[in-house]
Amino acid sequence: HVFGRHTEDFLRGAWDEVLVPEDIAEPRAAFAEARRSRRPHHAEVRAHDAEGRVRWLNCECVARTDDLGNYLGYTCCATDVTDARTAADELEARVQSRTAELSTALDRLKVEVADRERAEAQLRQSQKMEAVGQLTGGLAHDFSNLLTGIAGSLELLKTRVSQGRFDTLDRYLDAARNASDRAAALTHRLLAYSRQQTLAPAATDANALARNMEELIRRTVGPAIQVKTKYAPDLWITLCDPHQLENALLNLCINARDAMPDGGRLLVETVNAELNGGIAADRDMAPGEYVELRVSDTGVGMTPETVARAFEPFYTTKPIGQGTGLGLSMIYGFARQSGGQVRIHSSVGVGTTMRIYLPRIAGTADVVSPDLDPPAAARAEAGETVLVIDDEVTIRMLVAEVLADLGYRVVEAEDGRKGLEILRSDIRVDLLVTDVGLPGGLNGRQVADAGRKLRPDLKVLYVTGYAEGAVMGDGRLETGMHVMVKPFGMDDLAHRIRTIIEEE
């Protein structure tokens, strides 16, 4: 029985009396089709029970046959699934309600995240503009002083020449040269901070480098400070610019000296440091093996606020005139550009330890020749020609005159396209000297690459104020290519050109 009626009543057509009207047509047609083909039939419909309530029925019908396969009729089973359907409907309603709540919460979260990102972007922009203002203000102050020294010396030089007073000329020339050297050093420190300096990386033994500097360090810090060293016996080799590492070490020792005005102890150490994931992440470094150079002092120390700002350009705690505030920022830029890191550990009244981390490489250290005053530049052989490409008229003129005095034939071009036209001609060119950043749509690297296709043995000297990625590529220059960083002395340029031309 189903709701007080025999199942056969449904088979005879009692659907209209029991089922909800909207559920009659479709199951009736489907059951009729199933009976014609003798297929099983399934339907889920709403029906009125004996009390008139709407219930859900799950109906399953299968054809009956005798042993010979003759059709006898259908066997049907109707199950009341009202409670299950009600529970499912309630669950679906709750899911839809919760989904709507989560969607609303997600929309609110997106709005909050967007608002926070806008606020953070505004804060970063504000901090950036503050840093730019501090940088440009300090830079303008330092360069104003240096340019005043250069311009004033040249003005007095011109006046004394017009007066016929030649006995004091060297004084003004020395003053102008000293100011220009200081400006060059300031520029290199800025490039180091921005990580755009031209580095000459070499396999470096930090132990040997530090030992060679011990006497210089002792003379620099003075007798009131006791200098101690502690070098790792089997120190790894690192890849870095050894001259920049020397500058960094000397700078740290000078800072330590200034932090110990009444004397103290300075310790220079080297350590093999293997940093795992957690420690490396804490130091903002990639996990791996590093050579660590430490400089420790027993000086006044730094407050946490000073440590937090120590690497900012032009930030200094020294009195006016006793520091540019670029020393630590230069060291930071050098270390980061070399794939390493710098960290400060300091306590007020106890002292400070500076740690420079540089990545380990396999192999042995390269031999680095000491800086010596170059001998007089050799004169050119007959017909040797240098192509000079630079958009700065003054630089082009100075380079051309120095080379002409040494007997070179000089061909000049003011941009990359004109330089390439000369390389395409039949003019002899023993060396291409080119700036990296050039107007006219072709930079120095593009001119050199095109020139080498035309002249495979062409030797190239790049002169650049910063390390263009177009020059350095993956950090190594091709054979026959060299880099010289502006500003440079004319004698140094002449010697470099002679060396490049003569190399095999």
The pLDDT value given to residue 455: 92
What is the residue type of 456? Answer: P
| Residue corresponding to tokens 């060291």 | 331
Backbone angles phi, psi at 45, to 5 degrees: -135, 165
Residue 243: which residues within 8 A CB-CB, separation 6 or more?
A: 200, 368, 371
More confident position, 15 or 314: 15
Q: What is the DSSP string of 67-100?
A: TT--EEEEEEEEEE-HHHHHHHHHHHHHHHHHHH
438 closest CA partner among 383, 390, 396, 395: 390
For residue 317, pLDDT beyond 60: no
The pLDDT value given to residue 474: 47
For residue 471, pLDDT beyond 60: no
State the chain's mean pLDDT as an integer. Answer: 79
- Output the six-digit token pair for 109: 């979260």
CA dist., res. 134 & res. 122, Å (int): 18
For residue 309, pLDDT beyond 80: no
The pLDDT value given to residue 291: 94
CA dist., res. 323 & res. 369, Å (int): 30
Q: Confirm if 391 and 414 have CB atoms less than 8 A apart.
A: yes
Read off the pLDDT of residues 183-211 as tens digits, 9 standing for 90 and up. Answer: 776 666 565 555 445 556 788 999 999 99
Q: Confirm if 50 and 4 have CB atoms less than 8 A apart.
A: yes
The pLDDT value given to residue 378: 58
The pLDDT value given to residue 138: 58
4 closest CA partner among 40, 53, 42, 41: 53
Read off the pLDDT of residues 331-340 as tens digits, 9 standing for 90 and up. Answer: 888 888 888 8
- Percent of all residues in the chain with a pLDDT value above 70, rounded to a whole number: 79
The pLDDT value given to residue 232: 94
The pLDDT value given to residue 358: 93
For residue 470, pLDDT beyond 60: no
- The mean per-residue pLDDT over the stretch 279-300 comes to 89
3-state secondary structure of 118: helix
Q: Confirm if 240 and 201 have CB atoms less than 8 A apart.
A: yes
The pLDDT value given to residue 424: 93
CA dist., res. 392 & res. 403, Å (int): 17
The pLDDT value given to residue 140: 62
CA dist., res. 322 & res. 284, Å (int): 31
The helix, strand and coil proportions of the chain, stated in percent and rounded to the nearest 5, come to 45, 20, 30
Where does the pLDDT of residue 325 fall: very low under 50, low under 70, confident under 90, or very high at 90 and above? Answer: very low
For residue 227, pLDDT beyond 90: yes
Read off the pLDDT of residues 350-407 as tens digits, 9 standing for 90 and up. Answer: 999 999 999 998 877 765 444 444 455 556 677 889 999 988 887 888 888 888 888 8
For residue 316, pLDDT beyond 80: no
Read off the pLDDT of residues 117-143 as tens digits, 9 standing for 90 and up. Answer: 888 777 766 656 665 555 556 566 566
Tell me which H or E stretch contains 62.
strand 54-65
Read off the pLDDT of residues 167-190 as tens digits, 9 standing for 90 and up. Answer: 878 877 888 787 777 777 666 656
The pLDDT value given to residue 323: 44
Read off the pLDDT of residues 373-383 as tens digits, 9 standing for 90 and up. Answer: 445 555 667 78
Least confident of 11-20, 47-56, 358-367, 372-381: 372-381
CA dist., res. 263 & res. 266, Å (int): 9
Where does the pLDDT of residue 466 fall: very low under 50, low under 70, confident under 90, or very high at 90 and above? Answer: low
Residue 111: which residues within 8 A CB-CB, separation 6 or more?
A: none
Q: Confirm if 338 and 332 have CB atoms less than 8 A apart.
A: no
The pLDDT value given to residue 126: 67
Backbone angles phi, psi at 373, to 5 degrees: -65, 125
For residue 13, pLDDT beyond 60: no
- Is-cis flag, bond preceding 487, omega within 30? yes
Residue 228: which residues within 8 A CB-CB, separation 6 or more?
A: 265, 266, 267, 268
Angle at 390 between CA 387 and CA 395, to 5 degrees: 100
Which CATH superfamily does the domain covering 385-502 fall into?
Response regulator (3.40.50.2300)
Helices (H), 339-463: 393-405, 416-424, 444-454
457 closest CA partner among 434, 484, 428, 485: 428
The pLDDT value given to residue 157: 83
List the beta bridge partners of residue 389.
413, 434
Where does the pLDDT of residue 328 fall: very low under 50, low under 70, confident under 90, or very high at 90 and above? Answer: confident
CA dist., res. 229 & res. 269, Å (int): 6
DSSP state of 193: H
Q: Confirm if 328 and 336 have CB atoms less than 8 A apart.
A: no
Residue 129 CA from chain centroid, whole number: 20
Where does the pLDDT of residue 12 fall: very low under 50, low under 70, confident under 90, or very high at 90 and above? Answer: low
pTM above 0.85, yes or no: no
- The mean per-residue pLDDT over the stretch 254-270 comes to 91
For residue 97, pLDDT beyond 60: yes
19 closest CA partner among 78, 72, 69, 62: 78
- Output the six-digit token pair for 473: 């590529």
Any idea where the domains of the chain sit in the sequence?
7-80, 87-193, 202-361, 385-502
More confident position, 326 or 240: 240
Residue 404: which residues within 8 A CB-CB, separation 6 or more?
A: 410
The pLDDT value given to residue 320: 40
The pLDDT value given to residue 468: 44
Torsion, CA 442, CA 444, CA 445, CA 449, rounded to 10: 80
Where does the pLDDT of residue 271 fall: very low under 50, low under 70, confident under 90, or very high at 90 and above? Answer: very high
CA dist., res. 184 & res. 168, Å (int): 25
* Highest CATH level, class, for 202-361: alpha beta
List the beta bridge partners of residue 204.
238
For residue 322, pLDDT beyond 50: no
- The mean per-residue pLDDT over the stretch 241-258 comes to 86
The pLDDT value given to residue 389: 93
CATH architecture of 7-80: 2-Layer Sandwich (3.30)
The pLDDT value given to residue 367: 55
Torsion, CA 102, CA 104, CA 106, CA 107, rounded to 10: 170
